[in-house]
């Protein structure tokens, strides 16, 4: 299957290389036009550099019913998902969750069931706030490995990717370029900055770019809230519970709002978009994971609201169960795209640097 996808992507890239109409649409086309032939590593890099904005498809004169039948966003989306599955560790797990949204739901329910059981059988050991339902030591025992083991898995996968695309030593200039491109969602802005055609072929829109910004900002704020709380607990001897005006709450509450709104918006856009221009097999898995991420934000907000009521314990189990599923599924679901796409942006920054050096 992978060989067939690579052959088809190579065919389409060669046609795009000859046409060059879409040269300014995104980073994919300058990368295509800088090559004369396309190895498997080149195709893998192009696939992970593609943000599936679809502007090139709607501008192309060689899509169906033309005999060339080009659908570059579609074939790159399939290769992209196949690359994540191939590089993931362990590989067998990734091949299940990327294409089966129902398994993501079951994993989330299992996480919640596990937290209900932990609260029932481990309990608080005399703590306050959330620790009145589940002790701090129990939370650490559950979430420390659930956080670091997926990071190890992702590191192995990205290392495999870097070798496959023949990445070289990274400079600060490469990293800076990649960070700017990722932070601004540059490749979702379209060739002229008007946006892309993800949800509507006849209209340029910044909707998908803006939704990504909300999700990224919300995720970073929530991560910052957790990090600040960790520092306060261990370095300042200031354990939870925290007041509404404490740094963890001031960071986490808006983070939860942005995360929830952004994920709802992204799911809505996915329902409006043409599935045939993406990876149709991964649609349910992608959608389920975005919904899980949004639910993490929403359940966190509900927990903030009901933290001093009798609903605290069950809401804590539901929220932490969703967080646990999110952590464990990160290397094997849509969340992995952030790490691989950043690596692709770094690799593309290297291409630009080498091209600039050779032209001097």
**Three-state secondary structure along 213-256?**
HHHHHHHHHHHHHHHHHHHHHHCCCCCCCCCCCCHHHHHHHHHH
End-to-end CA distance of the chain: 42
Tens of pLDDT along the chain (360 residues) come to 678 999 999 999 999 999 988 887 888 999 999 888 999 999 999 999 999 988 889 889 999 999 999 999 999 999 999 999 999 998 888 788 888 999 999 999 999 999 999 999 988 776 677 888 888 889 999 999 999 999 999 999 999 999 999 999 999 999 999 999 999 998 888 766 777 887 777 678 899 999 999 999 999 999 999 999 989 988 888 887 778 888 989 999 999 999 999 999 999 999 998 899 999 999 999 999 999 999 999 999 999 888 778 888 999 999 999 999 999 999 999 999 999 999 999 999 999 888 776 655
CA-based radius of gyration for the chain: 22
d(CA 7, CA 16): 14
d(CA 96, CA 85): 9
Determine contact, residues 241/128, Cβ cutoff 8 Å: yes
* Domain spans in the chain, listed from the N-terminal domain onward: 89-358
* pTM of this structure: 0.91
List all residues 6 or more positions away from 223 whose beta carbon is below 8 Å from its beta carbon.
255
């Amino acid at each position: 299957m992978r060989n067939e996808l690579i052959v088809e992507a190579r065919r389409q890239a060669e046609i795009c290389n000859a046409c060059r109409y879409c040269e300014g649409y995104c980073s994919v086309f300058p990368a295509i036009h800088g090559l004369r032939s396309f190895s498997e590593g080149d195709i893998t890099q192009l696939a992970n550099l593609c943000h599936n904005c679809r502007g090139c498809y709607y501008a192309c004169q060689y899509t169906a019913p033309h005999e060339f039948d080009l659908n570059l966003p579609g074939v790159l989306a399939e290769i992209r998902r196949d690359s994540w599955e191939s590089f993931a560790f362990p590989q067998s797990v990734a091949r299940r969750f990327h294409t089966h949204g129902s398994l993501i739901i079951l994993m989330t329910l299992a996480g919640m069931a596990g937290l209900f059981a932990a609260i029932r059988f481990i309990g608080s050991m005399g703590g306050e706030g959330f620790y009145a339902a589940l002790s701090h030591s129990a939370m650490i025992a559950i979430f420390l490995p659930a956080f670091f083991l997926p990071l190890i898995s992702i590191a192995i996968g990205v290392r495999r990717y870097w070798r496959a695309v023949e990445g070289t030593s990274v400079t600060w200039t490469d990293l800076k370029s990649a960070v700017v491109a990722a932070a601004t969602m540059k490749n979702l802005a379209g060739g002229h900055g008007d946006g892309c055609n993800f949800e509507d072929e006849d209209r340029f829109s910044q909707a998908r770019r803006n939704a990504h910004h909300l999700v990224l900002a919300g995720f970073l704020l929530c991560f910052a809230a957790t990090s600040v709380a960790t520092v306060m607990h261990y370095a300042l001897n200031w354990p939870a519970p925290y007041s509404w005006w404490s740094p963890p709450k001031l960071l986490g509450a808006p983070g939860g709002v942005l995360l929830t709104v952004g994920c709802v918006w992204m799911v809505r856009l996915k329902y409006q978009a043409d599935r045939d221009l993406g990876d149709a097999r991964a649609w349910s898995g992608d959608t389920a994971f975005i919904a899980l991420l949004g639910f993490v934000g929403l359940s966190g907000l509900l927990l903030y609201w009901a933290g001093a009521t009798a609903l605290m314990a069950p809401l804590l189990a539901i929220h932490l169960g969703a967080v646990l599923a999110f952590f464990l599924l990160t290397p094997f679901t849509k969340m992995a795209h952030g790490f691989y796409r950043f690596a692709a942006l770094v690799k593309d920054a290297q291409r630009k640097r080498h091209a600039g050096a050779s032209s001097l």
